[in-house]
Amino acid sequence: MRALLEFDISHIPQNASIIDARLSLYGKKSAPDQHSTYNIYGTYNYSMIQRVTSNWSENKVSWDNQPNITTQNQVELYPSAIPDQNYLDVGVKLIIEDILNDPDNGFGFMIRLNEEFPYRMMAFATSDNNDPTLRPKLEIIYKVRKIN
C-alpha cells in the first residue's frame, strides 16, 4: 500500500521564504481492509515521504497508473511502536520548498514503505475521516520577502 497526499499551497506567495513546514499524520484505529493485519509491525514498516512529480487524481489513481516520485529531499518515518501510531510535526520543509520552486513537478506527497512486502504497512486516517482532528495536517510557516 502507498498513500498520496496533496494540499493546496497556492496561497503562498512566490517571493515567500519557507521557515518551517510540518506534516502530521494520525494513526488509523482499524486495519485498512479485510486482508490486512496489525500483528506485524516494528522494524518492518520503516517508511519514506517523497515528493510526487506528476499529476494524479484521487478518484482515478491506482497501482497501475500511480504518479512519479523523486527521492530528492525525502523524509524518513521511523518504524512504528504501536499499530495506530501518530507521526506529528514531521519536518517536510525541503519538500515544500521543492514544490514551490518547481510547481510543474510538485503534486504533493507519497508515503511508501522502504521495503514493500505483504502485511507490512503504516495506516493513517485520511481526509475523509469523520473526525476532522484526525485528518492529515500540513502547517507551513513562511515570511514574505520584500521585492525592491
- pLDDT tens digits along 95-132: 999 999 999 999 999 999 998 877 778 889 999 999 99
What the block records as the C-alpha cell of 33 is 481492509
In terms of residue numbers, what domain contains 112? 3-144
- pLDDT tens digits along 66-92: 999 999 999 999 988 888 899 999 999
In total, how many domains does the chain have?
A: 1
- Return the CA Rg of the chain: 16
pLDDT at position 91, please? Answer: 98
pTM: 0.88
